[in-house]
Amino acid sequence: MSEIKDKTAMLPPDEEETTPGISIRKLYKIFGPDAAQHVTAVEAGMTKAELNRKYHHSLGLRDINTELPAGQISVIMGLSGSGKSTLLRHVNGLIMPTAGEVLIDGQDVAQMSEAELREFRRHKTAMVFQKFALLPHRTVIENTVYGLDVQGVPRKESRDRAQHWIERVGLKGYEGRYPSQLSGGMQQRVGLARALTNDAPVLLMDEAFSALDPLIRMDMQSVLLDIQKEVGKTIVFITHDLDEALRLGDKIVILRAGEVSQQGTGEEIVLNPENDYVQAFVREVNRGRVIRLRSILRSRSPGSDWPAMELSGSTTLESAALQLLAVPDQAATVLSRNGTPRGVVNMDDIMQGMLRRNPGT
């Protein structure tokens, strides 16, 4: 299980709600020549198998409703065939819905004209692909400036911007290399630098790290998290790996057969899986790296003092356990985001939180 990075600085205050950066409402996608004619039947409950058998159409997405917060990382995950990449491609209009809306800054992507969609893709979104999608005849810096070349940005400006992100992703000195001269991890860094150079507010990542070796994959996850703290983009990240989803995602949307099976924070999903499908995903999760003190704290006993050690409510159980081992009474005051005491925990509370299992897991 990979380390779950503490993203406290990126999380909204306990009392606040975030404004959605991307709103997806009542989204349906049916593949086939007469797709629109079958939306009503699907809305009424026709299954994917029935739709295929009776009308020879394929159901890609059914009634997707989700809000992906601005400036945060939303992870869409599920097994192969769950519809996650199909959903991602609705965000930039590579696939158009049979019914429903995809709203970004109040604009419905599905209602854009060809010219509007072209400008939207050039300036509002950027994409990082699983297979890198680098141009083999272009060097690292030439690949990185490609999107700005398409936009007509002057070469001096585009190269300066590209150089900044090449260095930021750790490729300084490789500007003149060709993709064939780079490892897979380095090629993916080029893909990330290219997307960041475009400076689009929405970054789409389709299984961007899944082709990488485990250690390189974890390194790229760290690079992404560090850069996100700096740029605060609205990122939609596709994966089939729950470990990756828990490490990266401020919000996680789990798809099954084209439908939302559950959505929420990683902590909410691990603590309260809503069905057998989600329970299967979370069964082997290291709860200590996901659950935070705010979920297990208890009230202070009447008349007792607050423990001297103070820990943020966003501290993971694993981190808290390591810190409490050095405290004689092994207890701590749990603080809210504004620094006021919210409750207390001791080592027994933390151990129970780590070991407790949901029914059926």
308: left (phi over 0), alpha (psi -120 to 50) or beta: alpha
C-alpha dihedral, 354 to 67 to 211 to 278, nearest 10°? 40
pLDDT of residue 149: 87
pLDDT 10s digits, 284-314: 888 898 999 999 999 998 989 999 999 999 9
* Rounded distance between C-alpha atoms, residue 262 and residue 203, angstroms: 23
Q: Which domain holds residue 60?
A: 8-124+200-285
Which residue would you say has higher pLDDT here, 358 or 11?
358
Residue 113 sits in the same domain as residue 221: yes
In a domain, 85, yes or no: yes
Give me the mean pLDDT over the 333-357 stretch. Answer: 90
The residue from 261, 285, 309 where one domain ends is 285
pLDDT bucket at 357, cuts 50 / 70 / 90 = low
pLDDT bucket at 23, cuts 50 / 70 / 90 = very high
Residue 338 sits in the same domain as residue 212: no
Residue 18 sits in the same domain as residue 91: yes
Do 253 and 222 contact (CB within 8 A), yes or no?
no
Residue 49 has pLDDT above 70, yes or no: yes
Give me the mean pLDDT over the 189-210 stretch. Answer: 92
In a domain, 192, yes or no: no
Residue 68 sits in the same domain as residue 118: yes
pLDDT bucket at 248, cuts 50 / 70 / 90 = very high
Give me the mean pLDDT over the 261-281 stretch. Answer: 93
Residue 105 has pLDDT above 80, yes or no: yes
The residue from 233, 260, 285 where one domain ends is 285
Give me the mean pLDDT over the 63-79 stretch. Answer: 95
For residue 133, CA distances in Å to 45, 112, 189, 321 come to 39, 26, 12, 44
Apex 346 CA angle, 340 and 351, nearest 5: 125
* Rounded distance between C-alpha atoms, residue 222 and residue 220, angstroms: 5
Residue 278 sits in the same domain as residue 305: no
Residue 326 sits in the same domain as residue 266: no
Which residue would you say has higher pLDDT here, 250 or 4?
250
pLDDT of residue 11: 40
Residue 98 sits in the same domain as residue 208: yes
Domain CATH code at residue 322: 3.90.1280.20
pLDDT 10s digits, 123-177: 899 999 877 789 999 999 999 999 888 888 898 899 999 999 999 999 999 999 9
Residue 269 sits in the same domain as residue 348: no
Strand boundaries in 83-122, DSSP class E: 99-104, 107-108
pLDDT of residue 59: 96
Residue 296 sits in the same domain as residue 249: no
Residue 253 sits in the same domain as residue 120: yes
Backbone phi, psi, residue 133, to 5°: 55, 40
Provide the number of structural domains found in the chain.
2
Residue 91 sits in the same domain as residue 18: yes
The residue from 246, 261, 285 where one domain ends is 285
